[in-house]
Amino acid sequence: METDYKRIFYEAIAWKECPEKGQNLKKTGLDLRKLEREFPYLLGSERKKIKKLQVYFTFLPEYAGKKIFKSSPKNWKMEYAQKLLNDAWEMAYTNLGCTEQILALPYESCEENMLAKLLASSPLMELPVELWAVGLYQARPFDSLCILLPEDAGRKETERLQELLEPYLPRMKRIIYKGQESKASSWLTDYLYEEFGIVMMGVQKLPSDMPVLDFGIQEWGSRKLSSSSGGGIKYEVHNLRKGKAKAVYISSAEILKFLDIAVKNGYNTKVN
């Protein structure tokens, strides 16, 4: 069976690190690496191809180097740091076939750091739907699902949601919705009932026995990320036990955490 690959490029900061001795990143550029692990996913109605996500990534050292005769390291100039990240993305796009650029979440404890501000000030880049699909795939097996949608969700969100849910709906027994009624929730209610005979119910509290798919948003600097509305329940997308019902919280913030852990801990190879 043919395999359909989606390639993404993840850029993050290697906090508290400097370039290796003798390495001049301004001349060589950042190292580009490929995560050897590939992530399968289901999306839409296509069944004739195996879908897998490939992750390429790079890390920019927090410091430009060590100062001679001084204990404090040398900081990057903002324009150099930005150029290194931009050049790395251009190479990933041109030479490696990556179609999506994803910037890491800045740690809140580093919010006064120049590079953290650089990440936080970057314009919002919508996570590719394939990453959401990987999150749902890793939450399997499940036959129930809770959905959160922002009140202003429109056609884009509903089309994305339909694409994500379509592979699982024939086997679903229960779907619940948390949030205010909206055009999107009305569309979802009608779609589920008319196409699959599923009656979607609204709830006030999040469940603890099924995955939660959260399209809600919150702000970090000028970047908007999905919010965790767990209400005291700890949800994780990266620590699952298959075969057991478990509350798995799937949001853009959790997806980015999962991606960060994967590239830091997974076996990888240099590609440039």
One domain for residues 136 and 204: yes
- In this structure, of 18-27, 150-159, 192-201, 219-228, the range with the lowest mean pLDDT score is 219-228
185-199 tens-digit pLDDT: 899 999 999 999 999
Domain that includes residue 65, residue range? 2-123+260-270
204-256 tens-digit pLDDT: 888 888 999 988 754 444 444 444 443 333 333 333 333 444 568 898 888 88
Chain-centre distance for alpha carbon 236: 13
The enclosing domain of 178 has a CATH number of 3.40.50
Residue 247, pLDDT score: 65
One domain for residues 181 and 266: no
One domain for residues 77 and 95: yes
One domain for residues 113 and 137: no
One domain for residues 156 and 77: no
One domain for residues 59 and 169: no
One domain for residues 177 and 83: no
Give the confidence band of 126 by pLDDT, cuts at 50, 70, 90: confident
Distance, in Å, from the CA atom of 183 to the CA atom of 48, rounded to the nearest integer, reads 33
Domain count, the chain: 2
One domain for residues 119 and 138: no
Residue 217, pLDDT score: 53
Distance, in Å, from the CA atom of 87 to the CA atom of 94, rounded to the nearest integer, reads 10
Distance, in Å, from the CA atom of 253 to the CA atom of 104, rounded to the nearest integer, reads 10
* Residues 155, 158, 162, 163, CA torsion sign: positive
